[in-house]
């Protein structure tokens, strides 16, 4: 059980670094305009600046573009690709007395931990167990 615990906590510090080094912000504090009319088209603009044509929804179904929930847009939350893990005994390995929640998985004899405080920021980890590609989602 202790070995499993060590294996499940190996990702914490490396993922902490990944979470802090990844950024989706363009550095601008000004959000794009939510509704844009151009020629005979009506667009909503998500937080990444991508335009979505909603002309048909407004004209045919009476939906109002200003009432759409825009969300973050595609690729606004970056996944963690090919995560790196720390092992027991590494300098960056967390203190055994430290407490945090993880999503744990075991496949093909390997156990891995995906800390929730990192998963809240990235939501998806694309990982590989031997030759098996998996996506861990939160």
CA atoms within 13 Å, Cβ hemisphere of 8: 17
- Contact yes or no for 50/122 (Cβ under 8 A): no
Q: Does residue 105 contact residue 7 with C-beta atoms inside 8 Å?
A: no
What is the CB neighbour count within 10 angstroms for residue 9?
22
Model pTM score: 0.53
Query: pLDDT tens string for the chain (138 positions)?
Result: 554 444 444 433 334 444 443 444 444 454 545 889 999 999 988 877 888 899 999 999 999 888 887 667 777 789 999 898 888 889 888 888 888 899 999 998 899 999 998 999 999 999 999 999 999 999
| b/e per residue 60-83 (b: at least 16 CB within 10 A) | eeeeebeebebeebeeeeeebeeb
DSSP element (H, E) containing 58: helix 55-61
The rounded Cα 103 to chain-centroid distance in angstroms is 14
Measured between alpha carbons, how far is 83 from 122 in angstroms, rounded to an integer?
12
Q: What value, to the nearest 5°, has the Cα angle with vertex 57 and ends 52 and 63?
A: 110
């Amino acid at each position: 059980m202790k070995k499993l615990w060590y294996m499940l906590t190996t990702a914490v510090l490396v993922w902490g670094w990944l979470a802090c080094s990844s950024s989706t912000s363009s550095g601008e504090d000004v959000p794009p305009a939510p509704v844009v009319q151009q020629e005979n088209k009506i667009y909503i603009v998500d937080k990444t600046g991508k335009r979505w044509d909603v002309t048909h929804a407004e004209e045919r179904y009476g939906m109002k573009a200003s009432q759409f929930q825009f969300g973050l847009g595609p690729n606004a939350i970056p996944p963690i690709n090919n995560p790196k893990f720390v092992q027991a005994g590494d300098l960056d390995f967390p203190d055994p007395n430290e407490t945090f929640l993880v999503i744990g998985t075991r496949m093909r004899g390997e156990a891995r931990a995906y800390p929730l405080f990192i998963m809240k920021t990235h939501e998806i980890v694309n990982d590989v167990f031997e030759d098996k590609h998996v996506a861990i989602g939160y």
